[in-house]
Amino acid sequence: MRIEFCSTCGAPLEARWSKIVIECRYCGAQSTPGEEGAPVPSSIPDDGRLRIAVSGRTYLILGQLAHGDSSDVYFARWVRRLGELVVVKCLRCPSDSDLMRREHAFLERLRHSPATGTERFAARIPEPIALSPVRVRGQERMIAVRRWRSGFLHSLEEVRRQHPRGVEPGVAIWTFKRLLEVLDWSHRSGVVHGAVLPPHVLIHPRDHGAMLVGWSTAGAWSRDARRGLIAISREWESWYPSRNGIGPEHDIAMAARCVLWMSGATSFNEPGRLPPGLAELLFRASSGGYDEAGKTIEQVSKRSLEDLGQPAYCPLAMPGWSI
């Protein structure tokens, strides 16, 4: 018996030398123990599950993660490198290919942003691996491949379904602050998200983490140049505070609306489970009253200290998590 470490998450792995493939109990990544330089199996055995070839790599589809306005999102694995877990986004409507290309371009732009904090905050947006049109079951579809982020399994939609009366105020506030941090970096990088909606916010229940996805309507922004939205989600149409001349206050307002909603509110002027002071701050933010995410974080921290006391660890209870 020997002990190695998972190349994906760093957890210890126990395996006999004779075992060809071992799986990490923590994150599910697979590794090939063998001696250094030993051959790696050329592929995961074909068991009939769907495989998609994108930009020279073949991915095995393991399960569906989400069903969006125009795309289906899947959990997958690169078959020729067993430890590589990915997210595959498959476009259903060919006419929306420009939106997927746009998303890919802005994700690349953000990952190479010169703004302070890029090394940290780039981990809180999708990391693009490949983008290409692919023929799937007789139909050509645009496919995007993104790196898998362990632990970010639940969107705010799932959180609200699990907590229909709203989450605890502490959970709502750390979610808001994590979103504001990503938005502050994005805005300093000259990019507005445009669609901060519940299905585009992924939560890490244990680590107080929030990841922002759904960048297909993102756009360049500066104080002297604002733009209108190029598309909206019909299902979430009422969540957009504006459609013309959008800037940071638009993203902040949508983030505030997400937090009010996850707190149990049924409209953007209801507090849900939030105490009065924090609720008033969220009301102001949701109506476009703040236009700098960094300064908004300071206001949230100050008000949270007054209403909730010293910051404390507030894990989010979700199925499958032992916290």
pLDDT of residue 39: 47
Indicate the domain borders of the chain: 1-37, 42-147, 154-308
pLDDT of residue 82: 57
In tens, the pLDDT along 196-236 reads: 999 999 999 999 999 999 999 999 998 877 888 889 998 99
Number of CB atoms found within 10 A of residue 76's CB: 25
Give the fold, CATH level 3, of 154-308: Transferase(Phosphotransferase); domain 1 (1.10.510)
The amino acid sitting at 43 is S
- Burial 286-305, CB ≥16 within 10 A → b, else e: bebebbbbeebbeebeebbe
**How many residues does the structure list for the chain?**
323
In tens, the pLDDT along 279-313 reads: 999 999 999 999 999 999 999 999 999 999 998 99
CB 71 within 8 A of CB 89: yes
Please name the residues in contact with 203: beta carbons below 8 A apart, sequence gap of 6 or more: 152, 154, 155, 156, 159, 175, 209, 210, 211, 316, 318
pLDDT of residue 52: 86
- Of the chain, the percentage scoring pLDDT greater than 70 comes to 84
**For the chain, what is the mean pLDDT?**
86
Average pLDDT on 120-147 reads: 90
pLDDT at 131 over 60: yes
- Give the pair of three-digit tokens for residue 174: 């750390």
Beta bridge partners of 202: 155, 211
What is the value of pTM for the model shown? 0.84
Residue 59, phi then psi, degrees to nearest 5: -115, 135
CB 165 within 8 A of CB 317: no
Average pLDDT on 94-103 reads: 91
Q: Does CATH number 3.30.200.20 belong to domain 42-147? A: yes
The amino acid sitting at 309 is G
Within 13 Å, how many C-alpha atoms sit on residue 261's CB side? 22
- Give the pair of three-digit tokens for residue 3: 């002990």
Average pLDDT on 133-158 reads: 88
CB 127 within 8 A of CB 111: yes
In tens, the pLDDT along 247-282 reads: 999 999 999 999 999 999 999 999 999 999 999 999
Please name the residues in contact with 172: beta carbons below 8 A apart, sequence gap of 6 or more: 166, 259, 262, 263, 272, 273, 274
Number of H helices, E strands in the chain: 7, 15
CA dist 88 and 104 (Å) reads 13
DSSP annotation of 314: -
